[in-house]
Every structure is written in structure tokens, then in C-alpha cells.
Amino acid sequence: MEKKRNAFKAYLEFNVLYKILIGLIVGAIVGVILASAGVTSLPAWISMFGTIFTRLLKMIIIPMIVGSLVVGASSVSPANVGKIGVRVVIIYLLTSACGVIIGLVMANIFRPHAALAAVEALAAGAAGKTGSTDVWSVISNIIPTSVLTSLVNETVLQVIFFALVFGLCLSFLKVSKNERIAAAASTTYQIFDCLTEVMMMVVRGIMQYAPIGVAVLICEVFAKNGAKVAGALVMVVVACFIGYAIHIVVVYGGLLKIYRIKIGPFFKEARTPFITAFVTRSSNGTLPTTMTAAENLGIDKEVYAFSLPLGATINMDGTAIYQGVCAFFLVMSCFGRGLTIGEMGMITLLATLASIGTAGVPGAGAIMLAMVMQGIGMPIAEGTILAGAYAMILGIDALLDMGRTALNVTGDLTCTACIAKRMKFLTKDSVLAK
């Protein structure tokens, strides 16, 4: 009994990151062995451990968004809210748009596609059904008609919108001259602050379970795809990962250079959230780690408490790159042609919006890919060849998701560091100030 307790204590005390990495490697190796032995799926009771992990991450998403965004938005002083908020949103949108463009360029260079021409008749059927391309309703839908319905249906964009409005108003009321209102606002702030702290604690608990969940999930991917991961899908992975790398070097490297931030010390701190995001595939799950990195970089809490939770939910550069590459893959595989300029423009717009609406949990980007395809008039309808090609992407989504989440989180930290430096929201000894 005593021994068991000690082993458990040792497990808890062992560095979470290493534990998750070990889980990842063990899961991948077992998956490859299973695939080579012809075992393509895991028994349901083992699979359940992976499902538990994804469900736990999904469980935290809404309370985490509400708590962290309300606290973040109300932590910014009314005098700075406009300046910080507008800058953060603009830089997030611009970097995401760059992401889609890089993704589309990569796709045009690598031209990833599977030869699915044999089922052309079905393809024609899918192409015939045009979906709506009404970007305007996508935008107006951001405003909820019922906050409770948005919370219950987990409509992420609407929840973000309301949490921000609520938090911003709270920041004004906190400094109201009317004592009664100021006191009530402070109490409300404390309640949301407590909610956020509780959620952070839940996340830390989930991270202790993550090695097991990650091992099972990755094992399933490798067992299912084994040798099949080769060929067309390898090209998708290569195009995405080269896109991710280019984005880090060109966009983030460029931003850091423009804002005169030393790359070495920055990436020394950014490394931990990067790896955590890579293995957990969740921007929201990585949030406590990203916040610690921002703190270590000497960024003022007023900026990062607002920009990081917002970034974890709306800034998804990796997801944007992935959308560009995969949309190309789907069209090329199913219709034997690349994308037209018009389609590329539409994808850039839709994928930027989709990356905003993507929740920071594993696999969310893949769901948004379906929305982008719908937007360009190629809905992924059941039984069509598009659905088949989409299923292929889903098969390797875990791999793609690792890279894109790592990029998403690095983007949040990079943009936050740049804004903080620009607006001089840095501590005296901040490494960014040097």
C-alpha cells in the first residue's frame, strides 16, 4: 500500500511535460507495432482512456473562456482598454490571414492530393450542391440573441463576444465613483477571478491525466494509419509542417524583429508552452503554461491576462495554415484541379473567420474545415467523394493538430510580447526590454 502511494506521489511530482512526451512516444511506438501486426483499432475499453482526455478538455472550454475573458477584459484599465484591445485583435487577425496565405502557397507548391478520380461521378454530385457563402451572416451571428442558448450550445464566438462585452463593462464599473456600484463590480470580478483560478486548477489536474490520454490517442492514430500515412497524406503533413515552420520564421521572426525583441530569450520561454501545446493539442489546456511564460518574460499582467485567453480562443495561425492546405487537398483529390483565385480569396476570408471561431481544444480545426468547404460551395455531404477525402484528413488530424496547436500558442505569446513591448507594458527587469 505504502509502495503504491509512493509511486503515485513520484508520478505526480515528475515533470508534466516529460510525462506527456513519454506518453506520446510510447503511444506512437505501440501504435506502429499494432499496425504492423495488422491490428488497426484498439479495444473499446482502452479507447475510452483517450476519449476521457478529449472530453475533459472539452468540459473546461466554456467555463474557461467565460472566466478568463471576463477577468482578462476587466483587468485592463478603462484608459488602456481601447488601445490594447484594438491592437491585439488587429495583430491576431493579420497573422491568421498570413497563415492561410502561407497554407495556400504551400498547397500550390506541394499539390497534395490523393488519386480519387475513379469516383468522379460522385464528385460531380458533391460539386453540384453549392453551399451558402454568406460571410455577412457569419459575422452577424457572432452576436448572440440569447446568452444562455449560446452557452448551452457552446457557440464559441458568441460566448467570446458576450464575455468580452461583460468584462469590458465590468472594468469601467470597478472604478465607478458610485461606491455601491464599484463594490458590487469588485465582488463580481472576484467571483470570475475565482472561477478562472478553479478552472486553472482543473486544467492542472487534467494535465496529470494527459500522459495516459495522449498515449492512447496517438496509439490509435498510428494503429489506424500505419503504412497508409504514407503517400498523399504524407504530402499534406509535409506541406502543413513546412508552412508552420515558415510562419514561425517569417511572420513571428519578422514581428519580433520589427518590435526589437531578442529571439533567443523569447524562444527560451516560449519553448515550454510550445511543447505543451504540441503534446496536448489544446490552446486552452496550455493557457496556464502560456501565462507563466508571459510572466517570466516580464510582460505586464494587464496585457497578458487579456490577450492570452483571447488568443487561445480566437488566434489560430496554425489552424489557418491547415485550412489552406487541406482545402486544396480536398478540391484537388475530388475534382482533379487546384483552386481558382476566387476560391483562394474566399478560403482566406473564411479560414481567418473559422480560426477565430475554433475552440482551443483537440480536433476543433477539423470541424471548422468542414465549414470552410461549405463556404466555398463544396459541402461535405455524406456518401460523396468529398466526405471520403475528408475522412482521410481526419485520420491524420492528430498529427496535424499537434503542429498547428503549437503554432497557435506561439502566435498568442509572440503577439502579446510585441504589443506589450510597443505599449511599454513590461516589468523593469523584463528580458523583452533589453
| 316 lies in the site for ligand ASP, by CB under 6 A | yes
As measured in angstroms, the least distance from the Cβ of 100 to ligand ASP is 13
Q: All 3 cell numbers of residue 39?
A: 491490428
Q: Which stretch binds ligand ASP (CB under 6 A): 15-23, 127-135, 175-183, 404-412?
A: 404-412
**360 counts as binding ligand ASP under rule CB under 6 A:** yes
Q: Would you count residue 67 as binding ligand ASP (CB under 6 A)?
A: no
In this chain, which residue has its C-beta nearest to ligand ASP?
365
Q: Which of 363, 379, 388, 411 binds ligand ASP (CB under 6 A)?
A: 363
Which residue number, 251 or 385, has a Cβ lying nearer to ligand ASP? 251
With CB under 6 A as the contact rule, the residue among 67, 226, 309, 362 that binds ligand ASP is: 362
User: 56, 206 in Cβ contact below 8 A?
Assistant: yes
Sequence-distant (6+) residues with CB within 8 A of 268 are none
Taking alpha carbons only, the member of 31, 122, 92 closest to residue 317 is 92
Q: How far is the CB of 240 from ligand ASP (least distance, A)?
A: 11
Q: What's the CA gap between 426 and 409, in Å, rounded? A: 20
Which residues does 408 contact at the CB level (< 8 Å), separation at least 6? 277, 283, 311, 312, 315, 316, 317, 318, 319, 360
Interface with ligand ASP, residue 404, by CB under 6 A: yes
Q: Which helix (H) or strand (E) holds 306?
A: helix 301-314
What's CA 192's distance to the chain center, in Å?
23
d(CA 72, CA 22): 34
**Listed ranges 73-81, 249-257, 263-271, 402-410: which one lies at the site for ligand ASP (CB under 6 A):** 402-410
Residue 350 CB, shortest distance to ligand ASP, in Å, is 15
Residue 407 touching ligand ASP (CB under 6 A): no
Residue 224 or 404: the one with the smaller Cβ distance to ligand ASP is 404
Residues of span 238-297 touching ligand ASP by CB under 6 A: 281-283
- Is the Cβ of residue 226 or residue 324 nearer to ligand ASP in the bound state? 324
Supply 77's cell numbers.
484599465
Q: How far is the CB of 361 from ligand ASP (least distance, A)?
A: 6
Please return the burial class of 349, using the count of CB atoms within 10 Å of its CB with bins 0-12, 13-18 and 19+: middle
Confirm if 320 and 246 have CB atoms less than 8 A apart: no
Rounded to whole angstroms, the Cα distance separating 66 from 52 reads 23
Contact between 361 and ligand ASP by CB under 6 A: the answer reads yes
User: Is residue 319 part of the contact set for ligand ASP (CB under 6 A)?
Assistant: yes
- The least distance separating ligand ASP from the CB of residue 378, rounded to whole angstroms, comes to 20
Q: Which residues are within 8 A (CB) of 120 and not within 5 positions of it... i.e. 6 or more apart?
A: 336, 385
Residue among 278 and 335 whose Cβ is closer to ligand ASP: 278
The C-alpha atoms of residue 217 and residue 34 are separated, in whole angstroms, by 14
Among 348, 358, 374, 384, binds ligand ASP (CB under 6 A): 358
401 binds ligand ASP (CB under 6 A): yes
# of chain residues touching ligand ASP (CB under 6 A): 16
Site residues (CB under 6 A) for ligand ASP? 281-283, 316, 319, 358, 360-365, 401, 404-405, 408
